Amino acid sequence: MNAILFALGAATFLGGGLVLTQFGLKHIHPLSGAAISIPAFTLLFLLISPFLLAGETIVWKAVPIFAAVGLTFPALVTLLTFAGNRALGPVTTASLGNISPLFSVMLAVMLLGEPLTPWQLAGLLLIVAGVLVITVTRTADMGNWRTWALLLPLGAAALRGVIPPVIKVGLDIWPNAIAAGLTGYIFSTLTVLTVERIRNGTFIARGSWQGRLWFAANGLCNGIGTLCIYLALRHGPVSLVAPLIATYPLVTVVMSALVFGRTPGALRLAAGAGLTVGGVVLLLVG
């Protein structure tokens, strides 16, 4: 039950975070936004960590695993997601990002020789159908985004699909989700700040105060969602947690409709999100 609640909590916060990103992107470049959102939650995490980790003994064997995760998640995943959000919008980005469990299954089939069951094949077909529904929905309000922009959320999905099993390996060694999340966020902060330093010659992200506040709020939302992922994986298997987290595009669809109002093609986008989520569930249940 704890794993289910944490996974659904992760889906809620991650889906909401994508909507908040839209407000921040009106003021700040997505790469600079990542250099605000991730460090903002890391700072909060560091401030409360003495209370959360009081009396905890560090298991050094697990630290490199959590650090390696942090170099890509949430750092690189956030960079790709923000860029995709700017190019495609929150609903399309969330829906394409939803297929991340697909990459886990593909790796298992190709590298580990695991069989593909009929249910998994049905899930794959549903996912493809959902992506097709989403990609043919282009309206003037969504901008003239190009097909190459699809690689941004798909790249994030690929990374996000590999990360949960790796986190699970680390948690088997050191079963402390708080320590795992903190380690990952510290290394993610170093990653995004390095990118910002290379881009603008400074570690401090540039932008208006409005943009900074929006991305700080986004960082809090994404940070809680990410921490929920670690906690869910601590209490349950990847096969249970991953499909529940994959429902976050539905949260984005609902929140986008509430915040931004009715938009052209919203029903088709919602149908595409529903198909991809259904496909992921069939894929992993199979």
pLDDT (tens, 9 = 90+) of the chain, 286 residues, equals 798 899 999 999 999 998 999 899 899 988 899 999 999 999 999 999 999 999 899 999 999 999 999 999 989 988 898 888 788 877 677 767 767 777 766 776 776 565 777 887 788 788 767 766 765 555 444 455 567 888 898 898 889 888 888 898 899 999 999 999 999 999 999 999 999 999 889 998 888 999 999 999 999 999 999 999 999 999 988 777 887 887 787 788 788 878 877 555 667 777 877 887 888 788 677 6
Q: How far is CA 116 from CA 95, 124, 174, 242, in A?
A: 23, 10, 32, 18
pLDDT at 143: 52
User: What pLDDT score was predicted for residue 149?
Assistant: 83
Q: Domain containing 85: what range?
A: 2-285
What is the structure's pLDDT at 140? 47
94 contacts 151 by C-beta, under 8 angstroms: no
Tell me how crowded residue 63 is: count the other CB atoms within 10 A of its CB: 17
pLDDT confidence of residue 268: 77
Which pLDDT does position 144 carry in this prediction? 54
For residue 279, report the phi and psi dihedrals to the nearest 5 degrees.
-65, -40
pLDDT at residue number 141 = 43
Predicted structure pTM score: 0.81
Task: Please state, in angstroms and rounded to a whole number, the distance separating the CA atoms of residues 236 and 241.
Answer: 7
What 3-state DSSP class applies to 91? helix
Residue 239 structure tokens: 């096969």
Cβ neighbours of residue 230 closer than 8 Å, sequence gap 6 or more: 167, 171, 177, 178, 180, 181, 184
**Rounded-to-integer distance, Cα 151 and Cα 259, Å:** 27
In this predicted structure, what is the pLDDT of residue 102? Answer: 74
Report the domain count for the chain: 1
